[in-house]
Structures are given as C-alpha cells and as structure tokens.
Chains A and B, each alone.
Chain A
Amino acid sequence: MMHLSWSILALTHFSWPVDGTIIGIYLLATMVAGIMVRKYVGGVDDFLVAGREMNVYLGIASLAATEFGIVTAMYTAQNSYDKGFSGASVGICTAIGMFVVGYTGFCIKPLRDAGVITIPELFRKRFGNGVQWLAGVVIVLGGLLNMGVFLRVGGEFLAVVCGFNLNKIEMVMTGLLVGVAVYTILGGMLSVLITDFMQFVIMSAGLLVITLLILHDVGWNKMVETVHAHYGAGGFNPFIAVGMGLPYLLINLIQNTAAALTWQTQIARVLAAKDSATGRKVYTRTSFFFVCRFMIPGLWGVAALAVLKPEAFNVLPAHGMMAENSLYAMPIYLSHIVPVGLMGLLIAAMLAADMSTDSSYMLAWGSVIYNDILAPFRKTPWSEKKGLLWNRFIVAIIGVFLLIWGLWYKLEGNLWDYLQLTGIIYLASMSTLLIAACYWKRANNWGAYSAIIVGAVVPMIFLFLEKTWRVPVVDPITQVQKIVAGKPETIDYLRSRIGPTASHWTGLTTFALCWVTMIVGSLLKPGAGETETMAQATKGAI
C-alpha cells in the first residue's frame, strides 16, 4: 500500500461539513431507492431485464447514466486536453452510429423481437451452443478488461479533486463498490434502472452547472485561443490533427456503431424495453447525448489546458498513478476552481455517474456469465430461486474481480486507446456475428468460430506486446535514453514504429479480419447451404 503525500490537499476547496453532507445525502437516497425495489424481483427475467417493462424515458435516463462514468469524464477531458476540440469528434461519430442503428432498427429489431436476454443467446439460435459459449467467454473477457480500470481511474479523480491520499481513496472506492454491489445483487436490473434514473438527474445537473461555471471562469474566446496556440488548425479539424486523421475517425465510427449493436450494457436497454419500437426510440433519442458526453468534459479539458501551467502537475506523486499526466489535468483544474458547495454537487454528480456505470456493467457481464457461459453446462433448467441465487453470486464475484484488477493493473498509453482496444476484443467479432446472423443466409458456425478467435487474438497480441516488447525512448538530439522520474523511459515497439495511431490500425485490422474470416469460414464449411436469417425468423414478431 502506498503512502503518498498530496500537495494539492491545501489547494482543493472540498469541505467535509458542506460537501460531505451533500454527498452523504445523495449516497443514502440512492442506496435506499436501490434496495427498496428488490421486492419487485420475482424471477430471473425481472433480475436481468426488469421484466421487459422499461419505457422510453426511463430507458434514455438509464442508457445515458450507464454510458457516462468518471472514467468517461477523465478520458474525454484528456482527449480534448491532448487534441483540442478535435478530441470531441469521437462523440459525433458515436451519435451518428447510434442514431442510424436506432432509426433503421438495424440488427436491434430482430434482436429484441427474438426475446433473448443476451446476444450470445441469439447466436445459439443461429450458430449452435458452442458459438454461444465461446461468444459469452469473449464478451466477458473484453468487458471485464475494459471495466477493470474504472475503479482506479474513478478513485484517482476523487483523490485529485478532493485532495485525499491515494491509500484512503482505495478504501473509499472499495466502500462505494460494496454499496453498488449490494443494491445490484438485491434488485438486479430493477435497482439499476431506478438508481440510474436518480443518478441521471444528479449527474446532469452537476455536469451542466460545472460547465457553466467553467465557461464563466475561462470564457470561450480564451479556450479557442489556447487550442489554436497548442494545436493550430488540427485542434479544430480532426482530419488534419496529429495522431488522428482518417484512421482515428474511421475506427471510432465503426467501433462505436459496433458498440451500439453489441455492447452488452447498451443493448441491455433494448432487451429490457417493452418492445423493439421502444428500444429504437431509446437509441434515437439518446444519440445526441453522446455528443454531450464528449463535449462537456471536453470543455473542461480545454479549460484545464488554458489555465494550468506545467508546474501544476508537480502535485501528482511520481508513482502510483496512470501513465500519462494529461489524464489528471481536468481534476487538478476542477480542484482549483470549484467552490465549496458546488464541490459537493460535482462529487455527487461524478459518484452518480460512476455508480450507475458500475452497477450496469456488473449486471451486464453477470448476465452473460449466467446465461451463456454456465447455461450450456446445465442438464436441467434451474428453478427461478436457484437462478436468482446464481446471478447474485456472479455479480458479487465480478465486484471482487474489479477490486483486485483495479488495484493491480497499471495503464500504459492513452486511456481511451486502452478502452477501445479492450472493447475491440469482442466488438469486432460480435458485431460481425450479429450482422451475419441477422442478414446473411450463408453464415454458419465455422465462420462464427473463426471470427470470434481472430477478433480476440489480434487485440490481445497488441496488449501483450505493449507490455512486453519495449524499446528505449531516445532524445533525438543527444541520442541518449530519456530519464523520467529517475527511471529510463521506454515505449512499446509498435507505437515506436507506427506512431500514436498504432492502436487505431490494430482496431481497423481486427474488424477487417473478422469479416474476412466470417465469410471465408462460412463458405469453406462442406455441405453448408442457406439457412433462415434472424431477421426472417423474427419477421412479424411482437
């Protein structure tokens, strides 16, 4: 356990009597609401998809709250701190993908009409039990690796903004996770929806108030001047920005559309909807939120760039934090400018954002473990009572994993790149399988197996090489290896050869290979003809 002193402690405006009370009231209200609805959970369907009784506005609140956590605020602010306004272009890519999927019903209509709980369950109908099981394993692997950094990043945000010691924040985050786990374990999706709704309101109020404060503090003109001074035209135009360009925009458009189709926490809102029309409305009407999701913290990041001087980062400890200092620019800036009282609202808003994300993610991956990884081994169906017990046990185990992984894993490189890469482990193959299952008659299990394996192996090789194959960072003038914080600086080999777009190219390659292997594998299977697609099978379904 590290014992780090934070010189920022004296700078933050966090006040225990005022801000602590606001946060305490929020936490108490959330816990009470989350636990109270447990009495409506009668069976596994209630626990995993809220009895499919969710309507449009509750769906919008839940989807928005789930997809915005502290980790989101951190990487989107970092993106804009590092890239200027161009960093917020990811939000536009995401919104386009989600709107198109919602408007057309592409894949999500047959998926909801099929009446499944998870995506791999749909794959079983088309490709068989083996594909369901393997898809479940890959989804859980990618999802948990992705979620693994949430706790640590969230804790570090609170540590910087509130001026807590890192060892204390580990206890705070553990307590928070236990609280979230309690209401998720007891109430499942019902508790998640109710608390998401409350958290959406608190989170949105906090985000808007803090944004107005920042705009008043820094001003739009100063933000524009700062971005122009640091990044030139590239700070406003992602097509010409360093480290972005077409590969960056393309992978974000493709990956975020794939997420709208298959990311279990997003698709869970479609599956919990009353019908496919409601699910589609939730998507179309939430799509613009994804522009806000990148623009609002993006403004915070740009404001930090305008205000903070390089020595502001001296408050950070040399060890124990993530790899890149720019990740902490936004929380350092907020710790300086947010006054007492509003600090409580800010922390409550960010806790709301984090808790709604954690609960939904635990439930989402838990539902896949229960429904798709354990189910194939059951000889006889479990009773509702036993099914509920297993689901609750799995959510608890995921909570324990998050604690261990969150404290152990140290991130290399940009946070958004890490999240993209771990997401691709399943997004590339699952989106390929889903589209093929819904619309391609020749698709079969050979193609499905090939795409799943390739989709998981390529990004995992990249992650492995990133950790193991490292080369020295050499000063271009002196040709001597750089030293940072008393340690020789190194960089992973692929980034040293390809540059900052290495992970974007890895992502694009993974998507392309998944489609190639799906097509080639399906066509190579001897004697395989055409079969009914899921779109045809569910045509006319209610």
Chain B
Amino acid sequence: MAVNFWYIVMIAVLVWYSTITIYVAIRGSYDVKHMLANLKKDHADEGLPPTPGK
C-alpha cells in the first residue's frame, strides 16, 4: 500500500515536472518579453532615463 503510494508520487512527479518545464519555458519567455516591454514603457512615461546602466 505505502509502496504503491510512493510509486504513484514518483510517476506524478516525473510527468508533472516534465510537462511544467516545457510549458513554463515557453510561456515564461513571453512573460519576460512583456515584463521588459512594460518596464521600458513605464520609464518612458515617467520620463526616467531608459538606460541608466549604460
């Protein structure tokens, strides 16, 4: 019984983690793109220098 429980947990972990890694890799890259675009826009609206690090 307990062995079966851990076997199911292991399978669930491998399936879920593989899936989420691919999904997050794709969707996360869009989030990065939008975050940087929004920050650039916010700085432009506030009149802040867009590239203070340069």
Contact = CB atoms under 8 A, between A and B. Distances in A.
Given A51-B39, A55-B34, A39 B13 contact: no
Nearest to B37: A53
A224 B31 CA distance: 41
Contacts of B51: 39
A237 B41 CA distance: 54
Contacts of A176: none
A452 interface: no
Contacts of B2: 85, 233, 236-237
Size range of the chain B interface in the assembly: 35 or more
A39 B53 CA distance: 5
A197 B39 contact: no
Contacts of A197: 28-29, 32
Interface string A156-200: 000000000000000000000000000000100010011001001
Interface string A301-332: 00000000000000000000000000000000
B17 to A, nearest CB: 5
A200 to B, nearest CB: 7
B29 to A, nearest CB: 8
A291 interface: yes
A59 to B, nearest CB: 8
Given A57-B24, A197-B32, A288 B16 contact: yes
Interface in A265-323: 288-289, 291-292, 295-296, 299
Contacts of A58: 28, 31-32, 35
B50 A39 contact: yes
B17 A289 contact: yes
Interface in B17-34: 17-18, 20-21, 23-25, 27-32, 34
Contacts of B25: 61, 200-201
B8 to A, nearest CB: 11
Interface SS of chain A: helix
Contacts of A57: 23-24, 27-28, 30-31
A220 B17 contact: no
Interface of B: 2-3, 5-7, 9-10, 12-14, 16-18, 20-21, 23-25, 27-32, 34-36, 38-40, 42-43, 46, 48-54
Given A58-B32, A61-B28, A291-B9, 19 more contacts: A42-B46, A51-B35, A51-B39, A53-B35, A58-B28, A60-B24, A60-B28, A85-B6, A194-B32, A197-B28, A200-B21, A200-B28, A208-B14, A208-B17, A224-B3, A237-B2, A288-B12, A288-B16, A289-B17
19 contacts: A37-B36, A39-B50, A40-B43, A41-B53, A46-B39, A54-B35, A58-B32, A58-B35, A60-B28, A61-B24, A197-B32, A200-B28, A201-B24, A207-B17, A237-B2, A292-B16, A295-B13, A296-B13, A299-B10
